Structures are given as structure tokens and as C-alpha cells.
Structure 1
Amino acid sequence: MRYSFVIPVYNRPDEVRELLESLTHQELFDFEIVIIEDGSSVSSEAIVESYRGSFPALRYIAVPNGGPSRARNLGAREATGEYLIIL
């Protein structure tokens, strides 16, 4: 994997859908997507799962709320790409 998109989310399923839909229009697919759900009361898991067929390297990790820094750091640890992009 060349690029890793790390996407920490908290109660934003509509924005997750928009972001994943936008990424389907990319011509270069040498990337993974790591979504960290940071203790949301409104889960994005079903939305993420609906895009699994579009992105073979899509991962969803749900954790108890620890704040945005903890979610970003976890995503960075889980990422496998040469370049890290935090959205």
C-alpha cells in the first residue's frame, strides 16, 4: 500500500458516507482506508460495510471515546502505507 487514509470519526455517519463516495471516484486505488470510530453514539459501521466492495483495503475499528488525538494515533499505528494522510 502506498497511501493510508486515517479517518477518525465521532457521530458523523453522513459525512463518512460522503467521504467514501468521493473516494470511489479516484483513479488511483493504491491506498487503504482506516476508519476509527471514537465512541460514537451514532455508528458509521453499516455505512462503512456498504462500501467494503468498493475498497478491498477498508478497515473499521470501533473504540471507546478517547478523543480525537487518541483516535488519530491509533489510526496511525494501524496504517500500513508508506504515506499517512489523516482526514
Structure 2
Amino acid sequence: MMYADLIDQEDLLGQLKSLGLQVPSGATAEQACECAVRGLDDARAYELRKMVKEMYTSSATILPAVRQAIDKQLLPALALYQQSRPA
């Protein structure tokens, strides 16, 4: 569960699972982000961007491992997906 001031690995996994994504229990933040971007489609990309925006604009502190996984796995994959979409 996400506590008011901290977003940890378990929070990330929970949020991804709440979006209906298949993320193995006990996965690291990096593994979870890798799973999240497999088979991206418009709906999933939208929900992931929305989730990241909410996390980054909240007052909660994102633990470094979670931020690093999002910055190195999730955001680049979302950007690449967006670029591959027809204008």
C-alpha cells in the first residue's frame, strides 16, 4: 500500500497490478517496469503515463530504485511507443 509520504517498490507493483498488468509478486521495480511495457497499446500507454504523472506530481517521496526504474525503463519505452504512432 502506498503510504502518504513514500512510494516504494511494493507501491509501484500494486499500482501496476491495479491497472490490470501482469507483474510477478516479488519483482523488483525494474522487472515490474519491464513487464509493464511489454505489448504496449494506446490504452496501456495512456494509463502508464497517467500513473507516472500522478506519482511525480504528488507530494510523496519516490524511493531512488523506483524512480530509476521508471526513468530508465518505463519513460523511454513510452516515448518510443509514442514516436512509433502515426501522427
User: Structure 2-normalised TM-score?
Assistant: 0.36
Which has the larger helix fraction? 2
How high is the TM-score relative to the length of structure 1? Answer: 0.36
